[in-house]
Amino acid sequence: MVILGVDPGVRFAGFGIIKKEGAVVYLLDYGCLIMPQSSELHHRVAMFNDFFATKITQWGVTDLALEIPFMGKNAQNFLKLGYVRGILYLLASKHNLDLHEYAPTQIKQAVTGFGGADKEQIARIIHQLFPKLKATARADVTDAIAVTLCSLWKSHKSQSIKC
């Protein structure tokens, strides 16, 4: 099982890819796709598609995990988020991936044990689990890894974790 977790955005998109072999979980790849704000939205959406299509193929991804978004104060941002989420749905279909979505409280509960945890608490746990993760990793990255782990733990019980 290889899971790609994505914290999507039209400017920054965090991702984490983990592989489960037996009882061991490996962090294969992680990072943040940074798309230039000066690029038109349709160009950023194309960049997003190409980047994640490559990651899916490169790592043999079998599952895609996403956080269920909530409507914030800015409807325009929520609409733009829908564009990249649509790309992820399309990629899941084209690559025959199992798609898993989790509420923010489910992810926080799975990773920290507390459904009301803040981003710093999530980042701290992710860094404890994966000590080789760069300390400067953006919240987009640690959030994406948290989504990935939530998906793994909701579907399988894992005992040990290695980088």
C-alpha span between 81 and 138 (Å, rounded): 19
Q: How many C-beta neighbours within 10 Å does residue 100 have?
A: 19
Determine which one of 40, 67, 118, 120 is catalytic.
Answer: 67
> Active-site residue 98, yes or no?
no
140 is an active site residue: yes
33 φ, ψ to 5°? -80, 120
Give burial (CB, 10 Å; 0-12/13-18/19+) of 138.
middle
Closest CA to 143 of 11, 32, 58, 19: 32
- Cα 42 to Cα 115: distance, rounded to the nearest angstrom: 35
Catalytic site residue 50?
no
Which of 98, 101, 140, 143 is the catalytic position? 140
Q: Is the dihedral of CA 151, 156, 158, 163 positive or negative?
A: negative
User: Across the beta sheet with 98-102, what order do the strands follow?
Assistant: 98-102, 63-67, 2-7, 12-21, 24-34, 160-162
Catalytically active residues, by annotation: 7, 67, 140
